[in-house]
Amino acid sequence: MESDTGIKKTPNTEQNQADMGIAVETHPMAMRPVYKSPAISKLTLRLLAINIVALAIVAGGILYLAQYQRGLMIERLDALQTEAEAFAAALGESAVPRDPILPQQIDTKRSQQVLRRLVPPIKLRARLFDPSGQLIADTRLLAVGGAEVRLKELPSPVMIGAIKQWLSQLSRWVDRGGRANLQRYIEYPDQTANHYLEVANALSGDKTASVQRLEHGGAILLAAAPVQRFKQVVGALLLTADTTGIDARVQSMRIQILLLSALAFLVTALLSTYLARSVARPIRWLAASADRVARDLGRAQEIPNLSARRDEIGELSVALRRMTETLWERIDAVEGFAADVAHELKNPLSSLRSAAETLQSIDDPHKRDRLFKILNDDIRRMDRLITDISAASRLDAELARGLTEPVQLQNMLSAMVEVYGARADLREVHLEFISELRKPVLVQGIESQLAQAFRNLLDNAISFSPDGGKVSISLDNRDEFAEILVEDEGPGLPLGSIDSVFKRFYSDRPAGEKFGDHSGLGLSIARQILEAHGGGVVASNRASRDNEKTTVSGACFVVRIPLAAG
């Protein structure tokens, strides 16, 4: 059983593809480049760059612990100011005569003794100025009989010392940049109150503190307080402390962070490399395998099965394997189709050749007319075959290019029955559409292709229906599927050929039907269209009982198409 196709012809040539912007390879095997994997994949480099750059930004930002360092400076400066006030008060009580009748001035020797006891020479330096601004005591010179006290760290082990020295230089370089705007501290050989603004303010009765930068990049804290006795300023005390302790704390934190960052860099690099290899290596395998499959004309090459990974790479390998299998199935189908076409064209060509050879040796006009009729029938049959073969060969491409949309089956099928009514009435065949559904039945698909499938089924049913017979098409919902039945009152399907009616070029026409009107592709095309929409079609015979005897009363084709979502 078969029917007409009527599929619209669309050109599909290399020129059309070039006009559409599709690259066309004339010699694909000669022009296709060989797949070569680089030593380090771009994916690995990208993963490393993303992870390491992020860590570098964090590590670089942490080097600038300005807020933390500023807080320590302010805290230490406040403490230094408090110490300066306390030491100044002690000097006012101990180094100035208690008798208000005596001159209220600082006893130099007594003040030096007090400062030697109060001020630790390692942590602080105290300088005492008299009201005239002259330096009368300096704890740096008092500690060891006038010699200046200097501190120096013991050297670290060679390797650790080199790393520590490098990190210390890096920390000092960062600190130096943050202290560029501070006032520079200058210590003159003959120091007076005029050299220090803090001391000048203290002699005026004000307490002052500040931070200044040293020449080598460090910083020094200065705090000055007036030395008073009975509300009278008798001198000024200047306390100074370097920021070695603060810098050491900040530097220690920086070193710890840098070491942790270095460890994080190493771990990140290793993990990124492992992740990239676990992703890039199987992708390389898949790419190389796909390239080998493309180059090998046989089927020995296979895409590796990575489904055991249970991730996206495994899904990709399964998809590529499925695609390869589908490709081979398509190649087999094309080869089978080509063989079927050659077979179908061979019969009319043989008939044409036989008729043409016989025509040369026959003089009887009636026999010649009969041979001419055979020639015309064969030519018409070949034309029909070539037209339907061309349409069938384009069907896959048209289904792939077409845009799907919700299709309302009631409207499409009822309109189709109305259009076919005029044609069916020519042979007194009655068509009817049956559906008791009130809600629209929507399926997702290409309306023109679905209409073509149902036209092929209707054409087949009409061609087998007797004069005065009836062809019905009914619609219903079945388990999230639209179910369409196309039934006729013809002779039914041969019991041994029910499964063969959907094969290409299958033909079992009723006796007396005009030769060459059918190519045997209609039902095959209908099934192909319906399967492309996720559905299918099956054929069976309609049975009726007459005098307790079951007879075949026609053919029935059942179509099922998934309903549209929502």
Tokens for 258?
A: 């840098």
E-assigned strands of 45-132? 125-129
Query: What pLDDT does 397 receive?
Result: 72
Q: Which of 320, 246, 534 is nearest to 407 (CA)?
A: 534
Alpha carbon 349 to its chain's center: 57
Decide if pLDDT at 442 tops 90: yes
Q: How confident is the model at residue 141 (pLDDT cuts 50, 70, 90)?
A: confident
Query: Could you count the other beta carbons within 10 Å of the beta carbon of residue 390?
Result: 14
DSSP annotation of 299: S
Among the ranges given (65-79, 462-476, 510-524), the one the predictor scored with the smallest mean pLDDT: 510-524
CA distance 114 to 137: 10
DSSP states of 227-286 = EEETTEEEEEEEEEEESHHHHHHHHHHHHHHHHHHHHHHHHHHHHHHHHHHHHHHHHHHH
DSSP annotation of 513: P
Q: Which residues pair with 237 in a beta bridge?
A: 128, 225
Is 429 in contact with 462 (CB distance < 8 Å)? Answer: yes
Tokens for 309?
A: 């990974």
Which residues touch 230 (CB under 8 Å, ≥6 apart)? 100, 104
Which residues touch 392 (CB under 8 Å, ≥6 apart)? 5, 7, 337, 504, 521, 524, 525
Q: How confident is the model at residue 200 (pLDDT cuts 50, 70, 90)?
A: very high
Q: Which residue type occupies 356?
A: A
Q: How confident is the model at residue 6 (pLDDT cuts 50, 70, 90)?
A: very low
Query: What pLDDT does 25 receive?
Result: 39
Q: Which residue type occupies 376?
A: N
Mean pLDDT of 63-73: 74
DSSP annotation of 502: T
Q: Tens digit of pLDDT for each residue in 228-273?
A: 887 889 899 999 998 888 888 887 887 777 777 788 878 878 877 7
- The helix (H) or strand (E) run that includes residue 155 is none
Which residues touch 305 (CB under 8 Å, ≥6 apart)? 317, 318, 321
CA-to-CA separations, 93 to 90, 114, 118, 168, 434, in angstroms, rounded: 5, 10, 13, 44, 119
Q: Which residues pair with 147 in a beta bridge?
A: 144
Which phi and psi (to 5°) does residue 304 adopt?
Answer: -60, 145
Query: Could you count the other beta carbons within 10 Å of the beta carbon of residue 538?
Result: 13
CA-to-CA separations, 38 to 43, 44, 203, 294, in angstroms, rounded: 11, 11, 77, 20
DSSP annotation of 10: -
CA distance 507 to 505: 6
The end-to-end CA distance of the chain, in Å, is: 37
Domains of the chain: 1-32+402-566 (3.30.565.10), 64-242 (3.30.450.20), 302-401 (1.10.287.130)
Q: Which residue type occupies 469?
A: G
CA distance 553 to 495: 13
Cα Rg, the chain, nearest whole Å: 51
Greater pLDDT, 154 or 189: 189
CA-to-CA separations, 407 to 451, 505, 557, 562, in angstroms, rounded: 10, 30, 21, 11
Q: Tens digit of pLDDT for each residue in 285-335?
A: 888 888 877 776 566 667 888 888 777 788 888 888 888 888 888 788 778
Q: What percent of the chain has pLDDT over 70?
A: 76
323: left (phi over 0), alpha (psi -120 to 50) or beta: alpha
pTM over 0.85: no
DSSP annotation of 468: T
CA distance 365 to 73: 126
Greater pLDDT, 356 or 131: 131
Query: What pLDDT does 16 receive?
Result: 40
Decide if pLDDT at 221 tops 90: yes
CA distance 146 to 141: 4
Among the ranges given (39-53, 193-207, 245-259, 299-313), the one the predictor scored with the smallest mean pLDDT: 39-53
Residue 36 sits at the vertex; the CA angle it makes with 33 and 39, to the nearest 5 degrees, is 155
Q: Tens digit of pLDDT for each residue in 462-502?
A: 888 888 888 999 999 888 899 999 998 888 888 777 777 88
